[in-house]
Structure 1
């Protein structure tokens, strides 16, 4: 009798555990995507994020993979800092320049336009020696494209990722 009860109890426990399955991989993936979308949307609403360049495409040139994640643009409505490599034609670049796009300044004329699968952010930043027009296309998964137009250089495009600024960067 005890064995029949224990077998019946074991059968009951197994049947209950089979019905209470964990989330499927697809559901977990969808939850992660939704969480990433909310994070990116929050970054765009606050207008504070970091763009890390992974690839660069100069005007009329080939795609160049960047080796290290040291190239960035920290966007903030108070102060935007940029350190990106430049490959292409420079029209009026000083002799003391290291060749990259480096500037710091307050962005002006910030415009955000929400599309179906992406968000477009436009801004103009006046650097020390040049004016830079920034054109971001930011997708919900965190990938982004940055087009930079300036008065003294040919246009250039960067592909990379958008993320939240590190806590040590926030002031």
Structure 2
């Protein structure tokens, strides 16, 4: 009986570590080409709020874990093109100037046509893309850190709310040309 229990525990650990391992979405040359072209899409998979009120509420819910990570459904993106930046991301945290009537202004949902992109690469091959939209009043900086395997970490700094970060991956932009 002890052999079966130890066998089950070992197989459980192996399955756990296999699911936790980093899964490569893209190779490093493709990631370099995407970032150099300044045309890619960041897909958010998890949101990491920094506000302790949100974290305390999440931890007080039944059957919750003691982490401050919120799983997202994959429909939240930052799409960077040569002439347009489109951001659709949720926000969890404290707003200093909330809009009561229009809830779209409480999350990050905007399209910018006037923005500056600065990119650099460190010695380990990680890209840091800094985007500064000039025609959006509440967002001062979007920083996307793109790793060699295509995984990415995005943080947004605003003028009217606390910062938040997102984990996810980058991919090539989809063609949305109308026939």
TM-score bucket of the superposed structures, by smaller chain: 0.7 to 0.9
Matched, 1:69 2:60: no
Q: 2:13 aligns to what?
A: none
Cα gap change, 1:129 to 1:109, in 2 (>3 Å): closer
Contact 1:104 1:127 in 2 (8 A): no
Alignment of 1:32-43 (within 5 A): 36-43=27-34
Cα deviation, 1:99-127, whole Å, max 9, x if unaligned, reads 32111103533211101131111111145
Q: Which blocks of at least 5 consecutive residues in structure 2 are unaligned? A: 1-23, 56-67
TM-score, normalization: structure 2?
A: 0.69
**Alignment RMSD (CA, Å):** 2.0
Matched, 1:109 2:116: yes
Alignment of 1:132-147 (within 5 A): 132-147=140-155
Q: Which blocks of at least 5 consecutive residues in structure 1 are unaligned? A: 1-32
Contact 1:111 1:123 in 2 (8 A): yes
Deviation at 1:167, TM superposition (A): 2.4
Contact 2:39 2:172 in 1 (8 A): yes
Contact 1:108 1:124 in 2 (8 A): yes
Contact 1:36 1:140 in 2 (8 A): yes
Contact 1:73 1:82 in 2 (8 A): yes
Please tell me whether Structure 1 or Structure 2 has the larger radius of gyration of its CA atoms. Answer: 1
Provide the rounded CA distance (Å) in 1 between the counterparts of 2:75 and 2:140. Answer: 20
TM-score, normalization: structure 1?
A: 0.72
Secondary structure of the corresponding residue to residue 103 of structure 2? coil
Contact 2:132 2:141 in 1 (8 A): yes
- Higher strand proportion, which one? 1
Secondary structure of the corresponding residue to residue 55 of structure 1? strand
1:47 to 38, 41, 56: 38
Aligned length: 136
